[in-house]
């Protein structure tokens, strides 16, 4: 069967609400068109329903399978990101870590001799994480507007970018702010802040690499 433009539109409309994510929608749509083109039957909406029921079970089954797929993707992306984090301790990423550690040591050494203002460094850490989140969520929003559906990778991407910000907010309110939940002396505050700075640098470098190497290609 050769499908007309109107029939293509009808197929798109018919399946649109079933899958939540654009990747599943594209896969189901491609499958439907292939299945219809291979048949020598007259096109009808009943035929669309028959293909869905025969091949996929039902719309509910597509949704259930999609949910499972999304969980697998989340675990997989978290694993990839962790690999990027650990890989940054291998050459050549190790060099940046050594430089950062030396910088931290210098800052710590100077803080033992004169008063150290934690605010600019804390603000810079927040700014870095906020910029990453802003970038990620803007991308997600743009893609959603373009395709009218979320990508299956958006959840993992959003969670991973927000996690860094969450950690920095947590550390700030627990240890660094003036009204911190746990009171620590200035010395310890500097060490915690420098650890957070090191984590921030590591996290953002790994996230950038992860995004460029995995996500950008997969969602392209």
Q: Which residues bind another protein (CB under 8 A)?
A: 8, 23, 26-27, 29-31, 33-35, 38, 55-57, 61, 65, 68-69, 72-73, 75-76, 218, 220
The angle subtended at Cα 96 by Cα 129 and Cα 79, nearest 5°, is: 60
Alpha-helix runs per DSSP H in the chain: 5-16, 22-37, 45-51, 59-87, 93-111, 119-147, 154-171, 186-210, 216-219
- Between 18 and 171, CB nearer to another protein: 18
Shortest approach of another protein to residue 72 CB, angstroms? Answer: 3
- Between 10 and 27, CB nearer to another protein: 27
Q: Does residue 211 contact residue 137 with C-beta atoms inside 8 Å?
A: no
Shortest approach of another protein to residue 98 CB, angstroms? Answer: 30
Shortest approach of another protein to residue 137 CB, angstroms? Answer: 23
Tell me which DSSP letter residue 21 carries.
B
Shortest approach of another protein to residue 121 CB, angstroms? Answer: 38
- Between 26 and 186, CB nearer to another protein: 26
Shortest approach of another protein to residue 79 CB, angstroms? Answer: 8
Q: Does residue 36 contact residue 43 with C-beta atoms inside 8 Å?
A: yes
* 138-146: long-range contacts, CB 8 A cutoff, minimum separation 24: 143/22, 143/219
- Between 59 and 137, CB nearer to another protein: 59
Shortest approach of another protein to residue 1 CB, angstroms? Answer: 14
- Between 21 and 203, CB nearer to another protein: 21
* 41-44: long-range contacts, CB 8 A cutoff, minimum separation 24: 41/1, 42/1, 43/1, 43/3, 43/7
The angle subtended at Cα 119 by Cα 116 and Cα 123, nearest 5°, is: 140
- Between 33 and 107, CB nearer to another protein: 33
């Amino acid at each position: 069967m050769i499908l007309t433009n109107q029939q293509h539109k009808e197929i798109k409309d018919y399946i649109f609400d079933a899958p939540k994510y654009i990747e599943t929608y594209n896969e189901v749509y491609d499958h439907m068109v292939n299945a219809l083109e291979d048949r020598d039957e007259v096109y009808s909406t009943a035929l669309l329903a028959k293909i869905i029921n025969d091949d996929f079970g039902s719309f509910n089954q597509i949704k259930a399978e999609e949910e499972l797929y999304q969980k697998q993707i989340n675990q997989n992306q978290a694993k990839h990101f962790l690999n990027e984090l650990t890989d940054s301790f291998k050459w050549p990423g190790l060099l940046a870590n050594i430089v950062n550690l030396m910088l931290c040591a210098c800052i710590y050494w100077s803080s033992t001799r004169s008063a150290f203002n934690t605010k600019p460094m804390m603000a810079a850490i927040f700014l870095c994480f906020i910029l990453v989140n802003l970038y990620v969520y803007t991308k997600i929003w743009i893609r959603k507007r373009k395709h009218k559906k979320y990508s299956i990778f958006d959840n993992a991407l959003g969670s991973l970018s927000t996690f860094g910000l969450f950690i920095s907010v947590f550390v700030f309110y627990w240890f660094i702010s003036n009204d911190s939940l746990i009171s620590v002396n200035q010395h310890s505050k500097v060490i915690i802040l420098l650890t957070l700075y090191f984590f921030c640098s590591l996290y953002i470098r790994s996230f950038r690499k992860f995004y460029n190497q995995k996500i950008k290609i997969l969602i392209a």
